[in-house]
Chain A
Amino acid sequence: MKIFVFPEIYQGEIKEISFEILGLAREVKEKIGADLYVLLVGKGVKEFASQFGLADKVLVLDNEKLEGISPFVYQNVLFQILKERQPDLVLFGHTSVGMDIGGFIALKLNLPMVAFCKNIKVENGNLVTTSLIYGGKILADAKVIDNKAICLVLPGSYSAEKGKEEGIKEIEELSLPEIEEKIRFEKFIVPEVEDVDITKEDIIVAVGRGIQSQENLELAEELANLLGGALAASRPVVDQGWLPLTRVVGRSGKTVKPKLYFSLGISGAPEHVEGMKDASLIIAINTDPSAPIFQIAHYGVVGDILDIVPALVEEIKARK
């Protein structure tokens, strides 16, 4: 069996998801017996090759034309590399990068595809994937035909530490095939000076859809102020224009590890949870008892934040 892992390297750094999927790939390799390849493709990626010591072989394609991970270019480059090597299992992150490549490779190589992947087990010699679907409410175990698949692995599903080992067993340098640039990378736009850097806060009060209106944000803000923390949000709140993108926790925002994460009216979809699951103390309030947030929260309240937060604000004021 041949397992390929596609690490994400851009803006001069290796993203954590790279080690998470490499660690997972190593575990599968040990259970089923396989060769493990790392596909290091991008601009300035070669210097990172020694970070992927778990790979039996690192394939390196380092070219300045590959800056900025243009989906069209990467789809075709990776397809060219993979089609000659007949992969069985290819792991990408279920991320902005992986989601733009995986589906193309799956169709072109006629391989099954598994998204929202949390785990890959080996049962009686068969690969069985576990996906977290329906906004984090349901888990689905699936068998992949012929033990082949392109998997998009959700960030935070596997320990990154287990994927970190330095050294190089074997390295092969590849050259860039001729490719049209139907999508061309122009530039990265990094957010300018931020109002608050939520990654540096010890206490975060985060609001989700359950906040219902912009006016109600004051309530959450008051709680945040009383606790000496900052206000953050899940994506839908920011999409309404109620808070800036710099306050988003999750896939399109920040990853935070505060001492206290107060989750108010957030359901806990995987794209949010990946950004806050490592908080030391998570207290969640949500009206839906089956909200996935209660799976990762330490303490939960099934109720309406508009009833509970005002009471909590009064209670804290009285104790101060």
Chain B
Amino acid sequence: MKIIVPIKMVPDLVEELEIDESGKKLDTSFLRFIINEADDHAIEEAVILKEKYGGEVTVIAPDIGEVDDVLYAAAAKGVDKLIKIIGDFEELNSHLYASILTEIIKNMQYDLILTGCEAITDIDGQTGIFLATNLVLPYIGLVSKFDKKNGYFYVSKEFPGGVYGEYKVELPAVLGVMTAERPPRYVPVAKIRAAMKSAQIEEIDAPEIEVETGIEIERMYMPEVGKGAEIIEGEPEEVAKKIAELLQNKGIL
């Protein structure tokens, strides 16, 4: 099976987010960018499928932040080919990213394209479904179980309440991965270092295309803090006391 996994780099939410002077976007100067979580699952699933059915996995990523580390980590997990898209990606929305990927992927060979089902930055929609629409391929998202039976590919899609829908998918197709069959594997630093020596990152210039999302962000802001929780302060023991009192007052204890 030939599998392509296009990934997104997104701000690490552990860091404090700040809006820049324009008031319309994040101040990215001090942000750390990490792989989008669902994309990490997509890589894991691709490697699992390769281990089961043989084949080759290619990961494609835009040149944002510490993307090289992400790509080498992927190689250490068992990904065969690494592609980095070079370009000015300060604002890489899903429409533009999907169009860039379309240009790159349309000349490649593949049975499956796995993307994370969504990213925290996806205000204009999800990359996977756009890519599938551009490439005229079937798309199904929020999938988390994968199986090949009698020459057909089966996936389970998640619905609310722990319900799964099972679907038979004609390949090639684009799948929006919710979770891999197993949690993304841990790669020791030594293995990543080894991958940095042995793996090659192929660099491709982003094709020059302009894509309109049709939406114009007027304002970004933090949700109202005043509306939030009453904060209980103090050392753990004091906090514990206050919570216990609170629970007693509410008749829960």
Binding site for B on A (CB under 8 A): 10-11, 15, 68-72, 75, 95-97, 99-100, 102-104, 106-108, 111-116, 128-129, 131-146, 148-150, 152, 182-191, 203, 227, 235-236, 239-241, 245-246, 248, 251-255, 259-260, 267, 269, 281-284, 288, 290, 292, 294-303, 307-308, 310-312, 314-316, 319-320
By the criterion CB–CB under 8 Å, are B134 and A107 in contact? yes
Given the interface pairs A133-B121, A140-B123, the reply to whether A283 lies near B161 with Cβ below 8 Å is no
Question: Does B129 sit within 8 A of A, measured CB to CB?
Answer: yes
B236 touches which of A143, A298, A303 (Cβ 8 Å): A303
Count of B interface residues, CB-CB < 8 Å: 84
In the complex, which residue of chain B has the Cβ closest to the Cβ of A298? B229
In the complex, which residue of chain B has the Cβ closest to the Cβ of A73? B138
List B202-217 residues whose CB lies under 8 Å from chain A.
212-217
By the criterion CB–CB under 8 Å, are B253 and A319 in contact? yes
In the complex, which residue of chain B has the Cβ closest to the Cβ of A128? B218
State the CA gap A114–B138 with chains docked (Å): 22
By the criterion CB–CB under 8 Å, are B13 and A135 in contact? yes
| Seed contacts A100-B129, A308-B239; 17 additional CB < 8 Å A-B pairs | A71-B138, A71-B139, A97-B159, A115-B124, A134-B121, A137-B223, A139-B220, A143-B216, A149-B215, A185-B167, A188-B166, A246-B162, A283-B246, A290-B222, A312-B240, A316-B247, A319-B244
Question: Does B221 sit within 8 A of A, measured CB to CB?
Answer: yes
By the criterion CB–CB under 8 Å, are A284 and B138 in contact? no
By the criterion CB–CB under 8 Å, are A294 and B228 in contact? yes
In the complex, which residues of chain A have a beta carbon less than 8 angstroms from the beta carbon of B248?
319
State the CA gap A253–B214 with chains docked (Å): 33
Given the interface pairs A99-B176, A253-B160, A299-B230, the reply to whether A139 lies near B170 with Cβ below 8 Å is no
22 inter-chain pairs at a CB distance below 8 angstroms, sorted by A residue, are A71-B139, A96-B142, A99-B142, A102-B129, A103-B129, A104-B139, A143-B218, A144-B216, A145-B216, A182-B169, A182-B170, A183-B170, A186-B154, A189-B166, A190-B162, A191-B163, A283-B246, A294-B225, A299-B232, A301-B239, A312-B240, A315-B240
By the criterion CB–CB under 8 Å, are A141 and B240 in contact? no
In the complex, which residue of chain B has the Cβ closest to the Cβ of A318? B244
A283 touches which of B13, B159, B243 (Cβ 8 Å): B243
State the CA gap A111–B21 with chains docked (Å): 30
In the complex, which residue of chain A has the Cβ closest to the Cβ of B230? A299
A248 touches which of B129, B162, B227, B250 (Cβ 8 Å): B162
In the complex, which residue of chain A has the Cβ closest to the Cβ of B171? A182
State the CA gap A108–B182 with chains docked (Å): 35
In the complex, which residues of chain B have a beta carbon less than 8 angstroms from the beta carbon of A260?
247, 250, 252
Measured CB to CB, the closest approach of chain B to A234, in angstroms, equals 12
Measured CB to CB, the closest approach of chain B to A94, in angstroms, equals 9
In the complex, which residues of chain A have a beta carbon less than 8 angstroms from the beta carbon of B239?
301, 303, 308, 311-312
In the complex, which residues of chain B have a beta carbon less than 8 angstroms from the beta carbon of A100?
129, 139-142, 157, 176
By the criterion CB–CB under 8 Å, are B236 and A311 in contact? yes
In the complex, which residues of chain B have a beta carbon less than 8 angstroms from the beta carbon of A300?
228-232
Given the interface pairs A104-B133, A246-B162, A299-B229, the reply to whether A141 lies near B218 with Cβ below 8 Å is yes
B122 touches which of A116, A143, A259, A290 (Cβ 8 Å): A116
A298 touches which of B26, B157, B169, B230 (Cβ 8 Å): B230
State the CA gap A319–B215 with chains docked (Å): 56
In the complex, which residues of chain B have a beta carbon less than 8 angstroms from the beta carbon of A246?
162
Measured CB to CB, the closest approach of chain B to A246, in angstroms, equals 5
By the criterion CB–CB under 8 Å, are A183 and B17 in contact? no
In the complex, which residue of chain B has the Cβ closest to the Cβ of A254? B161
Measured CB to CB, the closest approach of chain B to A32, in angstroms, equals 17
State the CA gap A142–B14 with chains docked (Å): 25
